[in-house]
Structure 1
Amino acid sequence: MRNSTLVICAFTIAASLALAGCGHKLVAHNGESTVAVYPDENTFTKLSDLKKQGGVVGGMIGGLGEGLATKQVDNNTPVRIINSDDKGSQIEVLDGAFKGLHGFVPSDNVH
């Protein structure tokens, strides 16, 4: 009887931990229906810096680079956060057309 109680408790704890890691979703802003998922944080930083440089050329290159380097994932897509810092999170997409995709999203695009 004691072994079955331990197995049930272990299963319950494992299930709780699995569910706790799955509660995050991508959040689009400003009327967008998708969220840009960057290959990594360095790509995000470089493209953001290009956009901040301003002017027509910097903005165009940053926007073009973002279009080529990112995957556009639907709003409210469930994700798992692998790790995060003050800029954003490394994520894995859990459902949808890009299921299994690993990438980086800014912190305001994950909740």
Structure 2
Amino acid sequence: MRISTVVICAFVIGGALALAGCGHKLVAHNGESTVAVYPDEDTFVKLVDLKKQGGVGGMIGGLGEGLAAKQVDNNTPVRIIRSDEKGSQVEVLDGAFKGMQGFVPQDNVH
């Protein structure tokens, strides 16, 4: 009887640790205090391509980012819905944009 109690407690503690370790947060870089969350991956790719062009295309890409992406506070908890090599589709779990879903580049989620 004593061994089964120990085993159950070990599973409960292990499960609690696993859940605590699964939290993801948005991470801002280069002194920024917010992270751009794009409506979807296609929008992100198009805006990055425009910004790479420089000149007028780069300016349009910068303006498009300001209009299309929502700026979410650094360290905001998120749930990853799916990911690929470019980034993750996330759901914001707290703050002003709680419940919002969008795409975040890979280096902005930890």
TM-score normalised over the length of structure 2: 0.82
Q: Which residue of 1 aligns with 2:106?
A: 107
Moved over 2 A (4+): 12-21
Q: C-alpha separation between the residues in 2 aligned to 1:110 and 1:18?
A: 17
**So what's the TM-score if we normalise by structure 1?**
0.82
Unmatched runs of 5 consecutive residues or more in structure 2: none
**Helix, strand or coil at the partner of 1:43:** helix
Please report how far the alpha carbon of residue 58 of structure 1 lies from its aligned counterpart in structure 2 after TM superposition: 1.1
Structure 1 unaligned residues grouped into runs of 5+: none
Instruction: Give the count of matched residue pairs.
Output: 103
Label 1:82 to 1:20 Cα distance change in 2 as closer, same or farther (>3 A): farther
Deviations 1:18-61 (A, max 9, x none): 5454x110000111100000000000000000001112x01110
The 3-state SS of whatever aligns with 2:75 is: coil
Alpha-carbon distance in 2 for matches of 1:76, 1:39: 19
The aligned runs of 1:30-69 (5 Å cut-off) are 30-55=30-55, 57-69=56-68
Of all paired residues, the percent bearing the same amino acid is 81
